[in-house]
Structure formats: C-alpha cells, structure tokens
C-alpha cells in the first residue's frame, strides 16, 4: 500500500501588499494586484500569480496541468478545471467569484487585475465561475462545470498496486456518470493489466505523451496526509484506502473489484493455495514469529501445495529481514501482473497482508484471507475472512492523529522500541488464521485435497 504524500499545511502563500481575510485556511488564491473580499463562513487568500502547475510539474511520473487554462472565455478570459477551478485574467478591473453550483455556496471571491484566480480545492466540485467587469451588474463569464463530452484526465500515482486496483472502478464510475472522455494516466504495468478490460477509457502510461493535451478538467488521486482537506474532501483514514477515490471524484463509494483478464489455462495440476508474506514496511507484516510456518504446515497437512507469489523472496532493511515461510514453494520473481493473475485464479484461496497482492487476488474473485493489524478493517476491501486481533494496539495507519512515515521501515508510532512494538499482528496467532482457513473451506464447500474433493 503506497501513497502520494502531501506535506503542505494547505495554506496559500500571501504576497506582500495583498490583503488576506482572517483565516487559518485558504479556499482560493488570487493573483497580484487583487483584493480578496471576506465572505460569511468562507476564507480567502492571495498569492503573487505564480504558475498554477506547482512543484508536481517537476515529477516525470505526474502529468502537469497545462500552463494556461484550456478554455477560451469572453474578453480574453481563460478558464478550466484542471486541479480545481482556474481563471486567467487579462488586463482590466475584474471581480471574480467561484461557487459550488450544487449548494450555491460562494467558495471564493476577489477583485483583481490581470493574473490568476485559483480554487484551493482540487477534488471534484461542480464549480461555477463568474467574472464581472467591476461596477457592472451582469457577469461577462458565467460558466458551470459540465463534463459531458469533455476531455478529462484522472491521474494515478505510479508505483502503487493495491491503491490503484482499489481506485480504478471509481474512475470508470466517474466516466459513466458524466459521459465524458476520460484519460487515465498510470504506470505501464497497470495499463497492461487493465486497458483491455475498459475499452471506454483511455489509458496512458507515464512517463509518456498524454492523449489529451488540453483537457477541460483533471483530477489527481492519492493519499493525502496531515489533515489535508484541499486534495480530498474527507481524510482517507476515515473512509478507507480505496473509497477515498470515490470521494475525490464525487461518485458512489460502494466498492467493486476491477476487471482483469481471467480464463487462463491451468498449469499446475495439483490443488494449491497462494500466499504473499512481504510488504514495504515492517508494520504491514504478520509479526508473529511462528504464524506463517504453522499456517503452511496446516495447509500442507491437508494436501495443498503452498505457493509464495511475492515479488521478492527476502525483504527487509538493516538488521530486520523477512523470508519465505518454511515449506512454501518459491514462486517469487519479477513477473507480469497478468502472470500472477493466472496463478491466482486457479488457487483455491489466497492468504496475504494489507498489500497489493491481496487486492490483486480480490480481482480474481477467489476467497481472500487478509491479515492486518496496523490498519482497521475499513481500510481494505471487504472479505469475510479479515483477520485482526483487538486485544492490543491496532489501527495506527487509520488514526487521523498519526501520520505514516514513509522513510521509517520500522515505523510503529505508539510503541516503537518497546516490548509492545508490532503487537497488533504479533497477537494474531497461527491458530486464529487456521480457524479462518477452516471456516473458509466449509463455507466455500472445499474439501481437503488429501481427502479428495
């Protein structure tokens, strides 16, 4: 489970000599030579008319917004909805208002000369942009966002597997809701996995040339920390890792496994179970020293082959290294995601962690046993075989008062360097997981291979 970090404090910069309304948080920014008007229950700020692209443009894996708004308005005004509502004003004396068309709330308003007016909110809002010549009663521009038939980009972070799997169905839901032309920018391996299953969407591998060079609107998916409420309407830790995309895009948050190509030829004659025991941070591992070995022995005693399908056979850092459980067969390697799908779809079931391969197994519609303590069950997709232990510390990832440290492999925010470190999964026993295995087999009418089907 990877994430796109946001370390800003969400407050717009203010240039010298430009008025800012009393506030701790900015709802929009207004170019130089402007005055922001205080509004009831609304805050405003101003900056010096910097490029709207920001630092993200320097990352080759992030598609930057166009340098100038893509839509032409009257009197030389330009506007669009790329990373929020954007207005670029020519010379003149203007009054600009950005509204939420659903509620008629005024989000931001200011008087301005030539320069930028930008909303601070970057997630989907049915914006309405109004621009007046100062002193006139009727706006010269009155445009409400309408995505129907428009070119729209939905930007996914690169290098994440579980996140993107969880988010992809919401992009399709967004395209259907608005009847727009939707371009998804993703890593090449994700394009290879999904493009053929979603012919109504345009897939672009990044870094690379995008299809829509002048999109009407664009939206950026990610996990945004430190209480960010400008890139996401609700903190992702409150709604779940996958459902945060639904709230960013303004669609139904009901979960749905994305489509992958199934129907491959079975290459392993014997019945087997797939497991994945590795992840990117020690907090995500099953930190019970005997657990995996007990589970693998139980499966093998029943007659199953146990295939470990992690990318790497050994993962760790410093003095901590995690190896494949004794008795599991080594099916690790840097193989394509489609090859892993072919292995998973013929497995009787899968056992894994809160990591990408569990999400991939979910796509193949086999039963999934998911072991996690550092997350709460709301974080991942629903499975009736979600294993956690409530007798100790748990759920630090989903605590809005804590922020995951991507650079600390041994992150344990509450009990690091104490005897209670990682007790969230240390207290999950082999017996507990075996109990879920036995229940799964009964509920799915699976008989142990040693006893025949």
Residues classed as catalytic: 163
The residues pairing with 218 across neighbouring beta strands, listed in sequence order, are 82, 153
Whether residue 41 contacts residue 129, with contact meaning beta carbons closer than 8 Å, is answered with: no
The helix (H) or strand (E) run that includes residue 166 is helix 162-178
Phi-psi group of 140: left, alpha or beta (phi > 0 → left; psi -120 to 50 → alpha; rest → beta): alpha
H helix intervals, 256-332: 291-301
User: What is the maximum span of the chain, computed from C-alpha positions, in angstroms?
Assistant: 86
Taking the C-alpha atoms of residue 372 and residue 364, their distance in angstroms, rounded to an integer, is: 21
63: Cα separation from own chain's centroid? 16
CA-based Rg of the chain, rounded to a whole angstrom?
25
Taking the C-alpha atoms of residue 142 and residue 292, their distance in angstroms, rounded to an integer, is: 62
Strands (E), 113-188: 115-119, 127-133, 141-144, 151-155, 181-186
Short-list 310, 354, 356, CA closest to 333: 310
Taking the C-alpha atoms of residue 172 and residue 194, their distance in angstroms, rounded to an integer, is: 12
């Amino acid at each position: 489970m990877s994430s796109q970090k946001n370390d800003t404090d969400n407050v717009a910069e203010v240039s010298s000599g430009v008025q800012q309304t009393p506030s701790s948080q900015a709802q929009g920014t207004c170019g130089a030579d402007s005055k922001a008007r205080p509004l009831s229950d609304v805050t405003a700020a101003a900056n010096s008319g910097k490029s709207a692209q920001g630092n993200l443009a320097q990352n080759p894996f992030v598609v930057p917004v166009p340098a100038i708004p893509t839509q032409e308005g009257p009197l030389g005004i330009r506007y669009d909805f790329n990373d929020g509502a954007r207005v670029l004003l020519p010379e003149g004396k203007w009054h600009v208002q950005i509204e939420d068309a659903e509620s008629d709330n005024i989000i931001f308003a200011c008087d301005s000369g030539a320069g930028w007016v930008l909303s601070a909110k970057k997630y989907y809002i049915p914006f309405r942009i109004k621009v007046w010549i100062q002193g006139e009663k009727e706006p010269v521009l009155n445009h409400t966002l309408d995505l129907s038939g428009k070119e729209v980009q939905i930007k996914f972070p690169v290098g994440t597997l579980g996140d993107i799997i969880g988010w992809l169905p919401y992009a399709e839901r967004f395209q259907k809701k608005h009847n727009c032309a939707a371009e998804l920018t993703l890593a090449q391996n994700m394009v290879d996995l999904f493009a053929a299953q979603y012919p109504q969407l345009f897939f672009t591998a990044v870094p690379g040339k995008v299809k829509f060079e002048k999109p009407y609107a664009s939206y950026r998916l990610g996990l945004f920390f430190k209480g960010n409420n400008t890139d996401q309407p609700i903190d992702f830790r409150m709604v779940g890792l996958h459902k945060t995309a639904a709230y960013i895009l303004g669609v139904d948050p009901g979960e749905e496994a994305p489509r992958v190509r199934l129907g491959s030829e079975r290459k392993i004659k014997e019945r087997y179970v797939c497991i994945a025991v590795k992840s990117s941070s020690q907090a995500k591992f099953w930190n019970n020293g005997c657990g995996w070995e007990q589970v693998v022995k139980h499966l093998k005693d029943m007659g199953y082959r146990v295939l470990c399908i992690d990318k790497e056979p050994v993962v760790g850092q410093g003095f901590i290294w995690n190896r494949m459980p004794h008795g599991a067969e080594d099916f690790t390697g840097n193989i394509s995601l489609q090859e892993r799908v072919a292995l998973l779809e013929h497995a009787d079931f899968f056992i894994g962690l809160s990591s990408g391969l569990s999400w991939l197994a979910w796509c193949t519609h086999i039963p999934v046993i998911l072991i996690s303590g550092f997350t709460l069950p709301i974080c991942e997709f629903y499975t009736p075989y979600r294993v956690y232990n409530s007798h100790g510390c748990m759920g630090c990832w989903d605590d809005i008062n804590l922020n995951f440290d991507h650079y600390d492999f041994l992150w344990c925010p509450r009990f690091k360097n104490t005897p209670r470190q990682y007790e969230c999964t240390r207290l999950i026993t082999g017996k507990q997981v075996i109990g879920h295995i036995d229940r799964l087999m009964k509920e799915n009418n699976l008989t142990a291979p040693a006893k025949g089907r």
